[in-house]
Structures are given as C-alpha cells and as structure tokens.
C-alpha cells in the first residue's frame, strides 16, 4: 500500500474496471448478437462448466450455491478492452425476466452503457436484430449534441447508449 508522506494516509486511486457479465437463455444466439451489433471479439470459449469435485467445479458451487449444476460461458472483449462475459445457465435453466426487466427501484446492477457517435444507427440496428429501443433518443446536452437512449438486447438486458465518452457527457450535464 502506498502512503501520502505528509499525512501518513493510504493513497486511494481509481481501480480499473475489468469485466461485466450478463446471463442469457441462449449463449450461441447472444455471441452472434454481441459480435454483430457491437463488434465485440471472442477472447475464449464458449466453454461448459459443471458442478463436480474438480477445483473449478467446487469453486463454481461455492460461487453459485448448492443448486448450481451446469453452465456455458464465453469471454468477449470490447473496443476499450473491457471484458464482457456471457453466461448461459443450463441447470438450473436460466429464465428471462418477463414482466418488468427494468426494476430500477431494486438495488443492484441494472444496465451497461455503450458509446457510439452514431446513436440513431445503433438503436435501429438493435431494434432490427431482435432487441428493442426502450426510449427515444434524448439530446441531453443540446449545445454539444450529446445524446443518450436506452435499449435492450434480445434477452432483456438493458443497454444505455451515449454518443460521447462518459467523462465528456457527465461533466457537461446541468
């Protein structure tokens, strides 16, 4: 641990975001969709894992709990090398949230965000490929043409889209 010499306090620095993971009911369809729509690259997989007495199997049972039996996973990478993992739970079988997959009032992770300057084209591509556009495209910083929209993939996962980087967008608000 590094310390600030003047104050003898630990220096806290921003950690690196390593990866994001989602769950889908059809891994092969999801791989194809995320490659075609966002250009993500497959780093490894798909691989099947089972809850057995191997080191990996025991770790997976510890992580997922006693009901876990089998899953498939693929590892992808985004344009800025953030990992994107897609899981298909086979036993017990993954179930899609049907009634309301955007439960923003419940704590926990609820969306990913993609940056693309051509937001109109990306929203159209998402909608035409089995996903959907949830909101209209909002020009949230009109004098700079910064826009956002919310969509979802064909599996119900929420995707926000920014036309500009996170830092530029957030520092231009209000």
Q: What is the pLDDT of residue 96?
A: 75
| Spatial separation of the C-alpha atoms in residues 155 and 137, rounded to whole Å | 21
Q: What is the pLDDT of residue 94?
A: 82
Contact in structure between 60 and 54 (CB atoms under 8 Å): no
| Dihedral angle sign, alpha carbons of residues 110, 127, 42, 55 | positive
Residue 109 DSSP label = -
Short-list 24, 22, 21, 3, CA closest to 13: 3
Q: What is the pLDDT of residue 144?
A: 92
Q: What is the pLDDT of residue 2?
A: 65
Q: What is the pLDDT of residue 5?
A: 66
- pTM tops 0.75: yes
Q: What is the pLDDT of residue 135?
A: 96
pLDDT tens per residue across all 174 residues of the chain = 565 666 677 888 888 889 999 999 999 999 999 999 999 999 999 999 999 999 999 999 999 999 999 999 999 999 999 999 999 999 999 877 776 777 777 777 889 999 999 999 999 999 999 999 999 999 998 899 999 999 999 999 999 999 999 999 999 987
Q: What is the pLDDT of residue 68?
A: 94
| Spatial separation of the C-alpha atoms in residues 142 and 12, rounded to whole Å | 35
């Amino acid at each position: 641990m590094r310390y600030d010499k003047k104050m003898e306090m630990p220096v806290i620095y921003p950690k690196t975001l390593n990866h994001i993971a989602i769950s889908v009911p059809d891994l092969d369809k999801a791989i194809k969709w995320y490659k075609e729509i966002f250009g993500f690259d497959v780093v490894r997989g798909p691989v099947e894992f089972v809850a057995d007495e191997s080191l990996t199997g025991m770790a997976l049972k510890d992580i997922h709990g006693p009901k876990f039996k089998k899953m498939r996973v693929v590892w992808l990478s985004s344009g800025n090398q953030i990992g994107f993992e897609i899981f298909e739970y086979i036993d017990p079988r993954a179930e899609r949230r049907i009634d309301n997959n955007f439960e923003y009032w419940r704590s926990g992770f609820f969306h990913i965000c993609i940056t693309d300057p051509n937001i109109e084209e990306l929203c159209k591509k998402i909608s035409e490929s089995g996903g959907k556009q949830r909101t209209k495209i909002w020009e949230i910083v009109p004098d700079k043409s910064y826009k956002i929209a919310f969509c979802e993939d064909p599996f119900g996962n929420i995707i926000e889209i920014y036309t500009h980087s996170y830092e530029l967008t957030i520092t231009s608000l209000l």
